[in-house]
Structure 1
Amino acid sequence: MIRAQVSSVPAFSALRASLDTAYFHDCYSVELPVDERSPLELYLSVVSHTPGWIDALMKLRNKIVARLGLKDLGALSHIDPGKPAQDYRVGDQAGIFKLLEIHEHEVVLGETDKHLDVKISVTRQDLPSGVVVSVATVVHVHNAMGRVYMFFVKPAHRIMAPATVSRLTSR
């Protein structure tokens, strides 16, 4: 399995404009051989093959934050396996995130609550020899609780995000 690498958010990404005001952002990329999947299909593939240890951490997260009044997001891998990508529409729930934008080369998903806004972008950039898939995360916090939450989430995210994105290479 090829490990996802830290990268810049692609210049054409819808998330690019919000980077300057973000509390946190990152991006991980992998290069795949020729792959015809859309950005939404790539996202669905990534989350439906989430490593079990990440879903276990999400379960623990949900138990802890429920006591603090934050949302139980469920498991990252909780995707309807019978729903094809072409049936998803803006506003639909796709795992723990809601679909915000669907474009030919990018899909943007997100979740908002009173403490923070999270947006995820999955982009594909075609190359002569394959495709570069980038998964970017941008977080804007609204208050102290959002900052405390991110204090604990940032280190975990830096392990979980590349491990999840890397799963695309073992399709």
Structure 2
Amino acid sequence: MFKLFSAIKTLKPPTDDALAAKHQAPYFRDALQTSVSKHQLSPSQLQYAIFNYLPNWVQGLMSLRNKVVKWFGFEVGVNNMQPVSDELNVGDKAGFLTIIEKTDDEIISHADDKHMTFYLSVKKQGKDVIVSSLVNQKTTIGRIYVNAILPFHYFIARIVINNAIKANRI
């Protein structure tokens, strides 16, 4: 499977970035890095270029997920992560996420419910982009959920980044 995603590097999650300051045990954290050919794109535009083009099967899985997890008290508003614009500001929605921080080199969004808080960071670093997620698990149900979806998260995160690379959006 690594050859399928050879342009995407798995990083050890940073311990000195904005997301590291937000972690609360127990938590899950990951970080993926790839080269960017469109260096003029802002972090917001990179987030748009990656997540505005989710495959239909991913959107279908999100819809199925929402139908199941709502019975356990999870927030299930929007079925996707598609932002409405390629330039987002603090307070704007990107699908089920809300932008909470924005700098020249990073945009951070989050979603929160009683079981967990999810954060997504898209950060420009030189000629690369680092996409990182953090999930603070507040309850036992939140921990079970995160462990159950990790194989899907692993694959889907790489698929959407890889699709953005192949389509020359980033």
**TM-score between both structures, scaled by the size of structure 1:** 0.85
SS of the residue 2:72 aligns to: coil
Task: Tell me by how many angstroms 1:12 deviates.
Answer: 6.0
Which 10-residue stretch deviates more, 96-105 or 45-54? 45-54
Structure 2 unaligned blocks of 5 or more: none
Instruction: Give the deviation of 1:22 after TM superposition.
Output: 5.0
Q: Does 1:41 align with 2:45?
A: yes
In structure 2, relative to structure 1, the CA distance for the partners of 1:15 and 1:77 (3 Å cut) is closer
Q: Distance in 2 between matches of 1:22 and 1:32?
A: 32
For residue 58 of structure 1, report the CA deviation from its aligned partner.
0.5
Q: Post-superposition shift, 1:96? A: 1.6
The answer to which structure, 1 or 2, has the higher relative contact order (CA under 8 A, 6+ apart) is 1
Going from structure 1 to structure 2, the CA distance change for 1:52 and 1:4 (only over 3 Å counts) comes to: farther
Residue 14 of structure 1, CA deviation: 0.9
Q: What's the offset of the Cα at 1:5?
A: 2.0
Q: Does 1:29 align with 2:33?
A: yes
Closer/same/farther in 2, CA of residues 125 and 57 from structure 1, 3 Å limit: same
Alpha carbons 1:55, 1:77 under 8 Å: kept:
no
User: Equivalent residue for 1:116?
Assistant: 116
Report the TM-score when normalising by structure 2.
Answer: 0.85
Measure the CA separation in 2 of the matches of 1:159 and 1:73: 23
Distance across 2 between alignment mates of 1:31 and 1:40: 16
Residue identity opposite 1:59 in structure 2: S
> Residues of 2 paired with 1:22 and 1:4: CA distance?
26
In 1, Cα distance between the equivalents of 2:93 and 2:147? 26
Let me know the Cα RMSD of the aligned residues. Answer: 2.1
CA distance in 2, matches of 1:134, 1:142: 26
| Alignment-derived partner of residue 107 in structure 1 | 107
Partner of 1:161: 157
Residue 77 (structure 1) shift: 4.5
**Corresponding position of 2:72:** 68
Per-residue deviation at 1:102? Answer: 0.4
Distance in 1 between residues matched to 2:116 and 2:76, nearest whole Å: 14
Task: Give the secondary structure class of the aligned counterpart of 1:134.
Answer: strand
| Equivalent position amino acid for 1:140 in 2 | N
% identical equivalent positions: 26
Q: CA deviation at 1:84?
A: 4.5
Q: Number of residue pairs matched? A: 163
Could you tell me how far apart the structure 2 residues matched to 1:12 and 1:143 are? 26
Deviation at 1:114, TM superposition (A): 0.8
Answer with 104-113 or 63-72: which moved more: 63-72
Q: Is the 8 A contact 1:2 1:166 kept in 2?
A: no
Is the CA contact 2:99–2:108 (under 8 Å) kept in the aligned structure 1?
A: yes
Please report how far the alpha carbon of residue 78 of structure 1 lies from its aligned counterpart in structure 2 after TM superposition: 3.5
How far apart, CA to CA, are the structure 2 residues paired with 1:114 and 1:163?
29
Q: For 2:117 and 2:104, how far apart are their aligned partners in 1?
A: 24
Which stretch shifts more, 5-14 or 21-30?
A: 5-14
